Chains A and B, each alone.
Chain A
């Protein structure tokens, strides 16, 4: 569950003390890959000037057809950040065992790169219309 991810965040004034002793935090940005500083900058850049997209083959069990994805160096960079985030979440699971699986499970439910770009664009548009 999502509450598991919070257990590895470095405690601060806004984070209540955990009820049990926790291992030393491995890092401070596993909450979501979109919280990564460079990801935020890249998503803001994509929202300001949307990357190009392409249709590619999709093979999964829910539909054999085409899937849409954005392309370009910013998308490649976001993909690398997302992949690294997932790798670190998996490393944490391997190091800590079952209690840390929630972190990886949370990562698996986080936004894809395509959806994160769309969300950033929607947020930028909403802010523009309100401002």
Chain B
């Protein structure tokens, strides 16, 4: 079934994904970047989504909506610092852990945005 956000039903029954990165400690606190906060929120929301919700449960729909918002912000909001680029790169690693792959245009956009700062730092 399709709901308001065009989320395909049935996916809620996916096996729970163990998210080791939820146990972040202050000792590994990242350099300040709001993208890092978004990345950690994405992980926490995803974990909340693995609680076995019905596909059309309002909480589950809200979870899906928030994940989509974070993805959109990661793709379309440009980095302003090296810390932002590093946070986005960590976000891409989280997506890789989930087996999530961006489409071509969005993937190119986020990689190009990150690369600008990463290459400047390396130079």
Binding site for B on A (CB under 8 A): 55-69, 79, 83-84, 86-87, 89-91, 93-95, 97-98, 104-105, 107-109, 111-115
How far apart sit A83 and B36, CA to CA, in the bound complex (Å)? 10
- With A and B bound together, what is the CA distance between A87 and B38 in angstroms? 8
A68 smallest CB distance to B (angstroms): 5
Known: A67-B6, A69-B69, A84-B34. A61 touches B48 (CB 8 A): no
Residue of B nearest to A56 (CB): B72
Known interface pairs A59-B95, A61-B99; 6 further A-B residue pairs with C-beta atoms within 8 A, sorted by A's residue number = A60-B67, A62-B64, A63-B5, A63-B11, A108-B48, A109-B44
Q: Provide a sorted-by-A list of 27 A–B residue pairs whose CB atoms are within 8 angstroms.
A: A58-B6, A58-B7, A58-B68, A58-B71, A59-B103, A60-B64, A60-B100, A61-B17, A61-B100, A62-B11, A62-B60, A63-B8, A63-B11, A65-B7, A67-B5, A67-B64, A67-B65, A67-B68, A67-B69, A68-B4, A69-B65, A69-B68, A69-B72, A87-B32, A91-B32, A95-B26, A97-B26
Contacts of A91 in B (CB 8 A): 32
Using known A-B contacts A108-B48, A112-B65, determine if residue A59 contacts B38 with beta carbons closer than 8 Å. no
CB distance from A52 to the nearest CB of B (A): 15
Interface size class of B (residues with CB under 8 A): 35 or more
Is the contact region of chain B dominated by helix, strand, or loop, or is it mixed?
A: helix
B8 to chain A, nearest CB (A): 5
B29 vs chain A, min Cβ distance (A) = 4
Closest chain B CB from A69 CB (angstroms): 6
- Determine if B37 and A83 form an interchain contact, defined as CB atoms under 8 angstroms apart: yes
A109 with B48, Cβ < 8 A, contacts A57-B103, A67-B64 known: yes
Instruction: Tell me which of B26, B65, B102 has the highest count of chain A C-beta atoms within 10 A of its own C-beta.
Output: B65
With the chains together, A36 CA to B64 CA distance in Å? 24
A94 vs B37: C-alpha distance when bound (angstroms):
11
Binary A-proximity of B39-64 (CB < 8 A = 1, otherwise 0): 01100111011000000000010111
Q: Flag if B69 contacts A112 (CB, 8 Å).
A: yes
With a cutoff of 8 Å between Cβ atoms, the chain A residues found around residue B98 in the complex are 60-61
The chain A residue with its CB closest to the CB of B33 is: A87
B14 within 8 A of A: yes
* Complex-state Cα separation, A66 to B3, whole angstroms: 10
Alpha-carbon gap, A60 to B73, bound state (A) = 13
- Give A76's nearest chain B residue, CB to CB: B77
Contact B8 A64 (CB under 8 A): yes
